[in-house]
Each structure stands twice: as C-alpha cells, then as structure tokens.
Amino acid sequence: MKSSSPILWVSLVVVILGAISGCSQHEGEPKGTATVASAPVELREGEQKFNANCSLCHGIGGVGTTQGPSFLHKVYEPNHHGDEAFQRAAANGVKAHHWQFGDMPKIDAVKPDDVDHIVKYIRWLQKQAGIF
C-alpha cells in the first residue's frame, strides 16, 4: 500500500509531537528510565539492599511504583532530603505528606550501615538521571 496521503502524514506528525510534549509536561515523572543499568561494583551492596528492602515500593532503579514515590525526583535530591532523611525514614517510617501513596512503614531489616550503602546507591541513580 502506498501511503502518500497528506492526511496520514499530518496525523503522524501530530502523534509524534504530542508524544514529545506530553513527556516533558509531566514534571513529577522520573527522568531517564534508562538508569536501571547495573551500578558500579562499589555500589552493588547498596543496590542489593535497596532492591531487597526498598524497591517493593520505590521501584527497581528508584523509579517508583504504585506503592511509593520515585527517588528520581527533585524533591529527593540531597539538598531537599539529605542522607539523614533516609536514615530517619528507614528507622521510624514516614507519615504520608508529599504524596498520596500512604505511610511508609519503618524498615526493621536495614541497619544504619545498610542505609548508608542504600543512600550512596540512590545518589548514584539520581546523578544518572540528572537530578543533581
């Protein structure tokens, strides 16, 4: 079939433009979902602990799920949520305040040392995604 109909081309362009501008308008959407690449060796421990204890809600690669927010968001960059905020979240849990996901329970399975590793891994993910 020869698709030289101008209407077809116009609608194709509209669809493509729509897709492009649609993406950039979603402020809250995680940038760069290509970040699920494997972490450098020194971050593997953090990656494993994150995947085991946090990814259920925060998503593999920190992209978020229906249970919890993405960390690839400006709100979680170091100046807004310093490393202390991660220690507090894991130790005490978090009352829902930024989003509509509900509360985060405290995560008994991780110790402050583990959270240190997890934070390093999350900061790396955020750097990859250009958050800071």
Residue ranges in contact with ligand HEC by CB under 6 A: 53-54, 56-58, 67-69, 81, 85-86, 89-90, 94, 96-99, 101-102, 104-105, 107, 110, 115, 118
Nearer to ligand HEC, 36 or 57 (CB): 57
Nearer to ligand HEC, 10 or 111 (CB): 111
Nearer to ligand HEC, 118 or 125 (CB): 118
Residues whose CB falls within 8 Å of the CB of residue 29, separated by 6 or more in sequence, listed in order: 23, 70
State the virtual CA torsion across 90, 92, 97, 98 in degrees, nearest 10. -10
CB of 104 to ligand HEC, least distance (A): 3
CB of 23 to ligand HEC, least distance (A): 24
Contact 75, 81 (CB under 8 A): yes
Written as six digits, the tokens of 54 are 């946090």
The length of the chain is 132
CB of 47 to ligand HEC, least distance (A): 12
Nearer to ligand HEC, 8 or 56 (CB): 56
Query: How far apart are the C-alpha atoms of 43 and 52, rounded to whole Å?
Result: 14
